């Protein structure tokens, strides 16, 4: 296994699986007849341009895979790793049943990098897996940066990698598996492959696409969809999930930034005011229009009917 960094890297922590022993223990087992509600609704989000055989394979086998992972993460001290605690992430139930999420997202906490869900628990999972690999005799080469795939006819047969001592050729025996990461830091690739998303990369990219380029140069197909699918997130989710003013005040008074699970720091863009008028002024919004909009919306909340957008009654908050 070749790794360009000096250790294996994991980010985030959310791993979705259906009908694992943890979901069953918590009372969230999903029978086949519920698939229409879950999977087909999600396929509808993508206009059914998905391979439903793969989706159904995930339904039938992901619990088995997660059980395998749980067994190893909870006993990783046997290979020099950290014993982790499997938990289920909180999910969002949409009162209008339009978006929402389904229970089944797993995390592994209580490791050195994942004391809580706002940390980076996936790093502990990857560290444990590296420990299992090393115990099983896998030859892991860190600080070894793959540069070019080798081919024998149409078959990829190996890779040339750069090390501190120069270039080394590695020959594959059965196959070569390429784990690329993203290409969000390469502006030229974004403009070529996903031009509409090119302006979204300030916090959305980690890698430079070198893995993708190796694959393309070796003859790999670019996504059969119109464009590769960008993973663009709103990193201000904490404003919804964590309502504590004290947390925000501490952040603003201190570093003024939030660390996004090891993917870099983002600036907290927030203002605080004692009145709506002062708030609108601080945000540099058009005062008359903004205050009128707030007044109208508060009126909808009071009457229980959103006359503009038809939001559900229980979603209207002044």
Residue 111 DSSP symbol: B
Residue 90 DSSP symbol: P
Residue 8 domain-assigned (yes or no): no
This prediction has a pTM of: 0.76
> What are the beta bridge partners of residue 145?
162
pLDDT at 20 over 90: yes
Q: What is the CA radius of gyration of the chain?
A: 24
User: pLDDT, tens digit, for every residue of 106-124?
Assistant: 999 999 998 876 688 999 9
**Do 105 and 204 fall within a single domain?**
no
User: pLDDT, tens digit, for every residue of 250-308?
Assistant: 777 877 777 655 556 777 777 888 999 999 999 999 999 999 999 999 999 999 888 88
Q: Which residue has the higher pLDDT, 28 or 197?
A: 28
pLDDT band, residue 68 (cuts 50/70/90): very high
> What are the beta bridge partners of residue 59?
none
Work out the burial of residue 162: count CB atoms within 10 Å of its CB; fewer than 13 is exposed, 13-18 middle, 19 or more buried. middle
Could you tell me where the beta strands, DSSP code E, fall in the chain? Answer: 15-16, 85-88, 105-109, 145-152, 155-163, 166-171, 257-259, 265-267
Q: Which residue has the higher pLDDT, 202 or 69?
A: 69
Give the pLDDT score at 194: 85
Give the pLDDT score at 143: 97
Residue 42 domain-assigned (yes or no): yes
pLDDT at 204 over 60: no
CB 2 within 8 A of CB 172: no
User: pLDDT, tens digit, for every residue of 205-224?
Assistant: 778 899 999 999 999 987 77
Q: Which residue has the higher pLDDT, 239 or 283?
A: 283
CA 32 remoteness from chain centre: 27
**Do 104 and 43 fall within a single domain?**
yes
**What's the rounded Cα separation, in Å, for the pair 9 and 111?**
15
Structure tokens belonging to residue 5: 């960094």
Give the pLDDT score at 239: 46
Task: Return the SS3 of 213.
Answer: helix
Residue 222 domain-assigned (yes or no): no
Place of tokens 């490791």: 111
Residue 158 domain-assigned (yes or no): yes
**Do 103 and 152 fall within a single domain?**
no
Give the pLDDT score at 202: 57
Q: Could you say which of 135, 166, 195 is where a domain stops? A: 135
pLDDT at 238 over 70: no
**Do 157 and 172 fall within a single domain?**
yes
**Do 52 and 111 fall within a single domain?**
yes
**Do 34 and 123 fall within a single domain?**
yes
List of residues 6+ apart from 91 with CB closer than 8 A: 100, 101, 102, 103, 104, 105
When pLDDT is averaged across residues 11-27 and rounded to a whole number, the result is 90
Phi (first) and psi of residue 209, to 5 degrees = 80, 10
DSSP output for 81-110: S---EEEEPP----TTSSS---S-EEEEES
pLDDT band, residue 235 (cuts 50/70/90): very low
Residue 128 domain-assigned (yes or no): yes
**Do 196 and 238 fall within a single domain?**
no
Phi (first) and psi of residue 188, to 5 degrees = -65, -40
Q: Could you say which of 116, 135, 154 is where a domain stops? A: 135
List of residues 6+ apart from 23 with CB closer than 8 A: 17, 29, 30, 63, 88, 103, 104
In which domain, by residue range, is 167 found? 145-217
CA atoms within 13 A on the CB side of 131: 17
**Do 192 and 241 fall within a single domain?**
no
Could you tell me where the beta strands, DSSP code E, fall in 245-286? Answer: 257-259, 265-267
**Do 84 and 114 fall within a single domain?**
yes
Work out the burial of residue 169: count CB atoms within 10 Å of its CB; fewer than 13 is exposed, 13-18 middle, 19 or more buried. exposed
User: pLDDT, tens digit, for every residue of 123-178?
Assistant: 999 999 999 999 999 999 999 999 999 999 999 999 999 999 999 999 999 999 99
**Do 172 and 250 fall within a single domain?**
no
Residue 156 domain-assigned (yes or no): yes
**Do 69 and 21 fall within a single domain?**
yes
How many C-beta neighbours within 10 Å does residue 10 have?
21
**Do 110 and 86 fall within a single domain?**
yes
Task: Return the SS3 of 96.
Answer: coil
Residue 100 domain-assigned (yes or no): yes
CA dihedral 253, 254, 255, 258 (to 10 degrees): -80
Residue 3 domain-assigned (yes or no): no
Q: Could you say which of 83, 105, 135 is where a domain stops? A: 135
Give the pLDDT score at 133: 97
Q: How many domains does the chain have?
A: 4
Give the percent of the chain with pLDDT over 70: 89
């Amino acid at each position: 296994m070749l790794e360009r960094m000096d250790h294996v890297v994991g980010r985030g922590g959310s791993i979705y699986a259906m009908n694992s022993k943890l979901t069953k223990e918590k009372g969230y087992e999903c029978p086949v007849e519920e698939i229409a509600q879950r999977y087909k609704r999600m396929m509808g989000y993508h206009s059914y341009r998905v391979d439903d055989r793969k989706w159904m394979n995930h339904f039938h086998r992901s619990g088995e895979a997660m059980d395998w992972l749980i067994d190893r993460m909870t006993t990783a001290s046997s290979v020099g790793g950290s014993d982790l605690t499997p938990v289920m992430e909180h999910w969002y139930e949409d009162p209008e049943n339009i978006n929402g999420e389904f229970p089944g997202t797993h995390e592994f906490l209580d490791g050195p990098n994942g004391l809580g869900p706002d940390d980076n628990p996936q790093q502990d999972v990857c560290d444990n897996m590296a420990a299992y690999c090393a115990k099983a005799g896998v030859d892991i080469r860190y600080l070894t940066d793959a540069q070019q795939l080798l081919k024998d006819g149409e078959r990829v047969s190996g890779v040339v990698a750069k090390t501190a001592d120069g270039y080394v050729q590695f020959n594959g025996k059965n196959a070569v598996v390429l784990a690329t990461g993203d290409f969000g830091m390469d502006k030229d690739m974004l403009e070529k492959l996903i031009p509409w998303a090119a302006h979204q990369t300030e916090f959305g990219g980690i890698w430079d696409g070198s893995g993708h380029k190796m694959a393309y140069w070796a003859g790999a197909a670019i996504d059969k969809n119109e464009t590769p699918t960008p993973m663009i997130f709103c990193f201000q989710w904490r404003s919804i999930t964590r309502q504590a003013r004290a947390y925000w005040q501490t952040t603003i008074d201190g570093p003024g930034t939030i660390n996004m699970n090891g993917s870099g720091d983002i600036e907290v863009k927030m203002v605080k005011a004692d009145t709506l008028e002062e708030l609108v002024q601080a945000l540099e919004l058009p005062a008359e229009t903004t205050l009128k909009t707030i007044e109208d919306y508060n009126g909808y909340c009071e009457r229980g009917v959103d006359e503009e957008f038809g939001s559900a009654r229980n979603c209207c908050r002044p």
